[in-house]
Structure 1
Amino acid sequence: MTTIKFGTDGWRAVIAEDYTFANVRLVSQAVADYLHEAHLAERGLIVGYDTRFGSDRFAAACAEVLAANGIHVYLTGKPTPTPVISFAILQKRAGGAAIITASHNPGSDNGFKYKPEYAGSASPEVVDRLEGKLEANPIKQLPLAEAEKRGLVERFDAMPSYMQQLGGLVDLDSIKRAGKTIIVDSMYGAGAGYLPQLLDGGTTKVIPLNAERNPTFPGIRAPEPIDSNLSKLKKVVKESGADIGIAYDGDADRVGLVDEKGRFVNQLQVFGLLAYYLLDVRGWRGAMVKSISTTSMINRLGELYGVPVFETPVGFKYIGPKMIEQKAIIGGEESGGFGFDRHIPERDGILASLYLIDFMLKRNKTPSKLLEELFTKVGQHFYDRIDMSYPSEQRPAIVQRVADAQPENLGGLQVVKKTTEGGYKFLLQDGSWLLIRFSGTEPLLRVYCEAHSQEIIPQLLSDGRALTGI
């Protein structure tokens, strides 16, 4: 019996332990069986991969299984960002995509993301169907060279059509002419080279960091664009006098932002900036979708601009389908992943970075001044989180302890409501909140909070931790 389980976006595991060629072929056969059952097999499947150890070979193994099942494979010829592969689904009208990537996980890991025909994260219903087909049928294989000879595997470059798409969403020429200095940290991942190529040919300079392929991700715990991993970017931005710093995670579906002073702008604040940009600068109107673990600034912007806001559990497998259902202009999560209307219902760190740069130019303001402007609209918002591991056998007792908790105050603020969908969220009297959420795939829980004062954050997190008993 397989132990493979899809998390918030795909299956991830340690290379050579659970992440093996045998298991990649097992998942690939499940994908092939699903495509046939869903009558999507005749449309073919995109197969792409990132810069991690062995990703190209794991992608080849996936292609061999799909081809053996009579499914035409469009195989990327180089490491390619997840949003670029997702867009290729629409461009080629394919039945979906299989992407070999562990996104922001440590270098010891690799993963397998499945993107359905609508080019977003697989919904819970699709995930259930995929998991139900694991080990259902014998694995078929056709050697890659033979599959290519028969025309079942076709190598292609997904980059050109994606770049053309972004050119239709953002005025790239105005950014090229602006004479700005942009530092971009690709974190040794698949997003390397995209921003420099998009903005080449003008007075704006794009200076790359960590743009070479290195599967060990040296100097960082993992390719996740959060404050603790961006010391080099912050230092370079500050010392060089650059206008903005941008970072992407390992497969470039998440974005990180560093302001002109070399300070990290957290993911919730970036979500607020992007939503404000679309509403106020671009004049877009429509629903906005947010996960339970991200900012209440979105709710306030919804009130100010008269647009509805929908909240989902954590993960784009919930956010993406809700974006499609509501024709939302933006969807976002706490981890720095944002999807946009007129594009794909999927996170795209590269497009998000272009929108942030364009916002800076349209307002003629630095990133720090843009954040100040946002706060004048919605009030100040500060955020932090702590991650805690625990012995797996203690999970039931910890879950029960949090489920039973009915605190009157947290961080010195009155608790006015507790919700339990997707986690245990405590809403406080001034609009601040605290969330306790258990990982579905490992013995880990996270305590998140957002408040209107930076000073209250440590006490809120401490009170949240006390509720868990850890």
Structure 2
Amino acid sequence: MSERAGTPAQESDLIDVTALVAAYYALKPDVSIPAQRVAFGTSGHRGSSLNTAFNENHIAATTQAIVEYRAEQGITGPLFIGADTHALSAPAYTTALEVLVANNVRVLVDEFDDYVPTPALSHAILAYNRAGHGDEADGIVVTPSHNPPMDGGFKYNPPHGGPADGDATSWIAARANELIAHGMRDVKMSEPSAVEAYDFRGAYVDDLENIIDMQAIKASGIRIGADPLGGASVGYWGAIRDRYELNLTVVNPKVDATWRFMTLDWDGKIRMDPSSPSAMASVLAHQHDYDILTGNDADADRHGIVTPDAGLMNPNHFLAVAIDYLYSHRDQWPAKAEIGKTLVSSSMIDRVAAALDRPLWEVPVGFKWFVPGLLDGSVAFGGEESAGASFVRFDGTVWTTDKDGILLALLAAEILAVTGKTPSQRYAELAEQFGAPAYARVDAAATPAQKAALGKLSGSDVAATMLAGEEIIAKLSHSPGNGAAIGGLKVVTENAWFAARPSGTEDVYKIYAESFKGAEHLAEVQREAKAIVDAAIA
């Protein structure tokens, strides 16, 4: 934790936007260097132009690879494209258009030249494909999500509307790196003309009444504060207020590629993470000015919920409350619709699911795993501990297959409007009923070889039979929901669990842990978890 965490950014913390954009065009990657290759993580290719990790050749080659991928898959419909407010998003967006147009792809861009949140793009893809045009649409979101201002990001969403799966991203990344290695000679580029307009904002905002009880929020008159944190939702919150006549204030409508108005995150960096108390410190200053106060990250796929009585809610706590409320207040949802959670999300969700008599669908880390269930309605809610979630409409049909931070922020307002209780007050009731778990994530040092070993572990590699004084009842290397590999390990007891996963960017592995027996027991779980993992990967 940096000693400056939660304090206002200073001039020395700010990026040089001119230098950042200049480097985007000037620096050319060498794909023989791993750090300069196109590499898709859980949400696209990310990096900084200053490190030659996100540059014009990367984006041109990746877009060309997407063109070839969609042709191979028989995707002949339009491609929706949008971008967030990061400094590198605008040049990357232009590069992508130059390639798409040169390849004769039908491209739909925002009608008002506005920023496009990730959920609005997912919504657009699904709306087009649901209408039955005889072809299928897909999309590109230019965003590194909540990453610091120096980063850029580029994500492909196929016709299912959600994040591309590993097969697709591996193919696209490999082809992009091949194109770069061959001197970009097979990449087509031209002036970005001949694009079509689409009203992302209007289509999304007008449809909200089919998934959120906007009339209840309006009738309640509750005071809502929405802070876009300088991100792509900045134009959406005002439109939502006006369309549904809500008592809503856009707390900070500023957009600045340096994010000079932010407070520093836990490590002293500017990061637009609405689930971080440090990053949200300036928002929390308004905690008592509103009945519900919310924040979104740069592409609005994450949410932060602030209440007058408790401040910023832990994301796990809000997920539990959201699930409890939705499955009790959505009468048209299928009786067998499952509750989706990632395996590092709180076991409070398991206990809420059991009380609701609803099946739980536990999957590995990454929102992409929820896509099939949300698409066919077999999973009515999918959420992950990093403050990302989406759910289905009142009638049980798909809304988005990507995370929707705007939607979850509005749900917090609906919960208060309908129940008269803030989400944090409702969580206190759940904790009284089921117990109050202590949850934390810590990092442990690991060599590349040890990280590789961790990613390949199976439950049988764990010799331990006890964890922090309790019998181990499960040792998981594959998720119970869909059988997919965890890429690590999860160990479970009656009242506690831990999961260990290798970091994709640092020489550490992450230990997620939770205990329903208090903070001291959690610390014991963490200590023993490290010993168990270290022994298994030695």
- The answer to whether the superposition gives a TM-score over 0.5 is yes
CA contact (8 A) 2:118 2:402 kept: no
Distance 1:89 1:230, change over 3 A: same
Correspondence 1:44-193 to 2 at 5 A: 44-76=78-110, 77-93=113-129, 95-134=137-176, 135=178, 138-144=186-192, 148=193, 151=194, 153-193=195-235
Out of 342, 355, 358, the position equivalent to 2:414 is: 358
2:423 to 367, 375, 378: 367
Rounded to whole Å, the distance in 1 between the matches of 2:238 and 2:429 is 28
AA of the residue aligned to 2:416: M
Aligned: 1:219 with 2:280: no
Mapping of residues 357-436 of structure 1, within 5 Å: 357-388=413-444, 390=446, 392=448, 395-396=451-452, 404-421=461-478, 422=486, 423-430=488-495, 432-436=496-500
8 A contact 1:64–1:141 mirrored in 2: yes
Distance (Å, rounded) in 1 between the aligned partners of 2:361 and 2:449? 35
- Stretches of structure 1 lacking an aligned partner (at least 5 in a row): none
Whole-angstrom distance in 2 between the partners of 1:382 and 1:256: 19
Shift of 1:116: 0.8
Count of residue pairs brought into register by the alignment:
460
**2:160–2:371 Cα contact (<8 Å) kept:** no
What is the alpha-carbon distance in structure 2 between the residues aligned to residue 25 and residue 450 of structure 1? 43
335-344 vs 388-397, greater mean Cα deviation: 388-397
Q: Once the two structures are superposed, what CA deviation does each residue of 1:276-324 show, in whole Å capped at 9, x if it has no partner?
A: 1111122333112211111223333332333222111110122223433
Q: Is the 8 A contact 2:415 2:422 kept in 1?
A: no
**Contact 2:160–2:375, Cα closer than 8 Å, also in 1:** no
Aligned partners of 1:317, 1:410: CA distance in 2, in Å?
Answer: 31
Residue 462 of structure 1 aligns to which amino acid in structure 2?
A: R
Answer yes or no: is the 8 Å Cα contact 1:411–1:463 preserved in 2.
yes
Deviation per CA, 1:101-120, whole angstroms, max 9, x where unpaired?
A: 00011222111111111111
**How far apart, in 2, do the equivalents of 1:34 and 1:367 lie?**
43
Change (3 A) 1:454 1:208: farther
Match of 1:320? Answer: 371
Q: Partner of 1:303 in structure 2?
A: 354
Q: CA deviation at 1:262?
A: 4.5
Aligned-CA RMSD value = 2.6
Aligned partners of 2:525, 2:468: CA distance in 1, in Å? 4
Answer yes or no: is 1:228 the counterpart of 2:262.
no
Alpha-carbon shift at residue 441 of structure 1 (Å)? 4.7
What are the superposed Cα offsets for residues 319-349 of structure 1, whole Å, 9 maximum, x if unpaired? 2234336621001111111121231222111
Aligned residue number for residue 9 of structure 1 = 43
Opposite residue 42 of structure 2, the aligned amino acid is: T
AA aligned opposite 1:307: R
CA contact (8 A) 1:340 1:346 kept: no
The residue type paired with residue 222 of structure 2 is K
SS of 2:273 mapped into structure 1: coil
- Relative distance call for 1:196 and 1:450 in structure 2 (3 A) is farther
- Summarize deviations over 1:14-56 as a string: whole Å, max 9, x none: 223210011100100000001111111x312011100001312
- Per-residue displacement from partner, 1:259-290 (whole Å, max 9, x unpaired)? 22252211111111111111112233311221
Distance 1:400 1:235, change over 3 A: same
1:369 alignment partner AA: Q
Gaps of 5+ in 2: 1-30, 130-135, 180-184, 479-485
TM-score scaled by length of structure 2: 0.79
Q: Which residue of the partner structure matches residue 69 of structure 2?
A: 34
Note if contact 1:175-1:199 (Cα within 8 Å) is conserved in structure 2: no
